[in-house]
Amino acid sequence: MSLRLKAILPVAAVLLAGLVVFVWVSLSFEDPERRSVIAVAAAGAVAICAALLAVLAVLVQRPLVELQEKIARLRDGDLTVSVSFAGRNDEVGDLGRNFNDMVRQLRESREEIQRLHRTQMSRAEHLATLGELAAGLAHEIRNPLAGIAGVIEIIGRDLPEGSPGREVLKEVQHEVLHIKRILSDLLDYARPRKPNFHPADLNDTAEHAVNLARQQALSRPVEISLEKAPGMPPVEHDAGQMQQVLLNLLLNALQAIDGAGKIRVQVVSHDNQAVVSVTDTGRGIAPEHLPSIFRPFFTTKGQGTGLGLSLARRVVEDHGGKIEVTSQPGQGTQFLIWLSFRRPAPPPAAS
């Protein structure tokens, strides 16, 4: 029922009641003087009702119609609207003031979001330029470094067995390898390759990574176990990239264990997704470090580059999946990787 009808109905009801009373009274009273008094009274009642209607229209209906118009403009994105009845000193005025306040807050929030967006965009552009620069530099350094590594090897071969110089050269070679690894990680990070999706057994991918990690743990009392998901359907993924991700997690786990310990890799299917977990009994991650571990270059290790986990997260996200971590300092850490069985739909082409 429209508002106008709702406002008119009670007034019309009063009018009708007045008319009924008038008819009843005029039939009951035969005295013409009394009848004319009642007629005047009835005319007065009609006039009051008409005046009431007019007042109602000005006080309530007009502001509501204006409010509706302004809400429609607001819905179309016009945040400059305000209602004119906000100055009134009654409930309708309160409504107007609240509406104007709400629009002002919306306007301020939108301006803040736009300002933040502009700042983020310019920061992203700066970072992109820096990234390009770093990648270019890494590429340029890699070639002379390969030359230096070659020369060191030749010099090492020419040195007599047991000469102290050989030990020094081993150290130099070790450091050169370290720099090479940092550069490769940096290049992988700065110029990521999109995954090459193929349906493959995720159990096999995990097994390859576990075998590589076992090689690294040969001389250590660390047991690396693998629990496969028997009969799990193939998962569309880039086996090489995902193997690298799991190896990064396994090496982190190995590096987190002092002395003896256990690392468990488990492949399961859960909630229509494939899940790989890597759980270790290492020293765990301090709560204040947890929010930073996926940030590029965050490391707590002397020899770390801090790119392992940020690369891992990017690869997993490129697969449309997610990576999660939980850790208990002093007890261990668990990483979970969630992947869909089907590759993520490509983003719609820009028109």
Residue whose C-alpha is closest to residue 139's, from 187, 100, 67, 103: 187
Q: CB burial class (10 A; 0-12, 13-18, 19+) of residue 222?
A: buried
Residue 83 or 253 with smaller CB distance to Mg ion: 253
Alpha-carbon distance of 192 to 314, in angstroms, equals 9
For residue 305, the partner it binds in Mg ion, ligand ATP, none, with Cβ less than 5 to 8 A by kind, is ligand ATP
Assess 305 for contact with ligand ATP (CB under 6 A). Answer: yes
- Which segment (59-67, 209-217, 267-275, 304-312) binds ligand ATP by CB under 6 A? 304-312
Buried b (16+ CB within 10 A) or exposed e, 136-156: eebeeeeeebeeeeeeeeeeb
Shortest Å, Cβ 301 to Mg ion: 8
Assess 333 for contact with ligand ATP (CB under 6 A). Answer: yes
Assess 306 for contact with ligand ATP (CB under 6 A). Answer: yes
Residue whose C-alpha is closest to residue 246's, from 125, 339, 170: 339
Q: Give CA 321 to chain center in angstroms.
A: 13
Alpha-carbon distance of 93 to 325, in angstroms, equals 54
**Options 300, 326, 328, 331; binder of ligand ATP; rule CB under 6 A:** 300
Assess 304 for contact with ligand ATP (CB under 6 A). Answer: yes
**CA gyration radius for the chain?**
39
Alpha-carbon distance of 316 to 307, in angstroms, equals 14
Assess 134 for contact with ligand ATP (CB under 6 A). Answer: no
For residue 263, the partner it binds in ligand ATP, Mg ion, none, with Cβ less than 5 to 8 A by kind, is none
Assess 190 for contact with ligand ATP (CB under 6 A). Answer: no
Residues 6+ positions from 285 with CB-CB distance below 8 Å: 293, 325, 327, 329, 333
Q: Give CA 195 to chain center in angstroms.
A: 22
**Options 110, 118, 301, 322; binder of ligand ATP; rule CB under 6 A:** 301
Give the total of residues touching Mg ion (CB under 5 A): 2
- Which segment (76-84, 124-132, 171-179, 307-315) binds ligand ATP by CB under 6 A? 307-315
Assess 188 for contact with ligand ATP (CB under 6 A). Answer: no
Q: How many helices (H) and strands (E) does the chain have?
A: 8, 7
Per-residue H/E/C for 67-98: HHHHHHHHHCCCCCCCCHHHHCCCHHHHHHHH
**Options 203, 252, 277, 333; binder of Mg ion; rule CB under 5 A:** 252
Shortest Å, Cβ 84 to ligand ATP: 60
Shortest Å, Cβ 217 to ligand ATP: 14
- Which segment (119-127, 134-142, 158-166, 250-258) binds Mg ion by CB under 5 A? 250-258
Please, which of residues 304-323 interact with Mg ion by CB under 5 A?
308
Residue 198 or 295 with smaller CB distance to ligand ATP: 295
Residue 96 or 308 with smaller CB distance to Mg ion: 308
Please, which of residues 235-254 interact with ligand ATP by CB under 6 A?
248, 252-253
Amino acid present at 229:
A
Alpha-carbon distance of 134 to 132, in angstroms, equals 6
Please, which of residues 262-281 interact with ligand ATP by CB under 6 A?
280
Q: State the DSSP H helix or E strand holding residue 66, giving kind and residue range, or none if neither.
A: helix 62-75
Residues near ligand ATP (CB under 6 A): 185, 248, 252-253, 256, 280, 282-285, 289, 293, 298-301, 304-310, 333
Residues near Mg ion (CB under 5 A): 252, 308
